[in-house]
Amino acid sequence: MTTSEEHQRIQRIALQRLESLQRAGVLQLPKAAVIEESVAPPVQEIEVDSPQIAKEPVLPTTKSTAKKMPEKKVPTKSRLSKCKKELALIQDEVAGCTLCGELVENRTQTVFGVGNPQARLCFFGEAPGADEDRQGEPFVGRAGKLLDDIISKGMGLTRDEIYILNVLKCRPPGNRNPAPDEVTNCRQFFERQLETIQPEFICCLGAIAAQTLLETTTPVGKLRGQIHDYKGISVVVTYHPAYLLRNPAAKKETWKDIRILLDAMDLPIPGNS
Ligand code: SF4
């Protein structure tokens, strides 16, 4: 990476950080707060009213110091345009894909992915449900509403800042789990989406997404609480919003996972100033 590219990368991260602070209500920063990070109170000591996430303890992470980070993207207009073109190309291929016979017969349309083509963070889910199949967009039903809350209330971000995609691009009939051969068929598409977007972070939603991405059979409960690596991208695992709707008690565990993600992304906890 050239010095100029490195400067642009640092500028982009600084801008995102400032925007996040602004969303959190911080309109002015004293110089010392920026330079002398050691004077900032530890996260556990910060008083907040809401959301619940801020009151949960931080779990230890197993962030590897030897982790290889991907080459950082440069936020230029030409790169954005290249990303959009590449994603549109993959989307066209997905729309015409007939690899999974049963899914093709039952789908209304393919559900590709949505969001910022240069997002720092991608949310990675399992497969479209009935609402997504109807509307052609991932996470638009009740589970989507909960994901919106996680993104906005839990992280202080918007859908425009992140990217959302699924393992499968077609709805499995009756919302059954994706079959192994369907996952194998569709892997090429999500891998190319991620290669194009080059996120720094991926948040896997549920067991299918996590186990597919990390190519493991370890249960989601054991994958949580640490930072994994996928081709140099930091990966956090949490429960699928549809599971949280059925098991609201698990929401507090998801907030812990989101705290890990915020910490890794160096983003402030919404509501803290
Ligand atoms: S799920 Fe993926 S691989 Fe299967 S038909 Fe749909 S787009 Fe093709």
Query: 129-157: per-residue pLDDT in tens?
Result: 999 999 999 999 999 999 999 999 999 99
DSSP class of 251: H
State the pLDDT at residue 74.
58
Ligand 1: does its nearest atom lie under 6 Å from the Cβ of 186?
yes
Distance CA(6)–CA(176), nearest Å, equals 45
DSSP 3-state of 245: helix
How does DSSP assign 56-104, residue by residue? SPPPP----TTPPPPPPP---HHHHHHHHHHHHHHHHHHHT---SHHHH
pLDDT in tens, 200-225: 999 999 999 999 999 999 999 999 99
Distance CA(121)–CA(109), nearest Å, equals 26
| Backbone Cα Rg of the chain | 19
Ligand 1: does its nearest atom lie under 6 Å from the Cβ of 100?
yes
DSSP class of 156: S
Ligand 1: does its nearest atom lie under 6 Å from the Cβ of 204?
no
Ligand 1: does its nearest atom lie under 6 Å from the Cβ of 97?
yes
State the pLDDT at residue 78.
87
Residues 240, 119 within the same domain: yes
Average pLDDT of the segment spanning 18-45: 41
47 assigned to some structural domain: no
Average pLDDT taken over every residue of the chain: 82
44 assigned to some structural domain: no
pTM for the model stands at 0.75
Residues 110, 29 within the same domain: no
In this structure, which residue's CA is closest to atom 3 in ligand 1? 186
Task: Check whether 44 has a pLDDT greater than 70.
Answer: no
53 assigned to some structural domain: no
Q: Domain total for the chain?
A: 2
160 assigned to some structural domain: yes
Q: Would you tell me how many other CB atoms lie within 10 Å of the CB of residue 52?
A: 12
Q: H or E stretch including 108?
A: none
Residue 12: domain span: 1-36
Per-residue H/E/C for 60-73: CCCCCCCCCCCCCC
Q: ω before 138 within 30° of 0 (cis)?
A: no
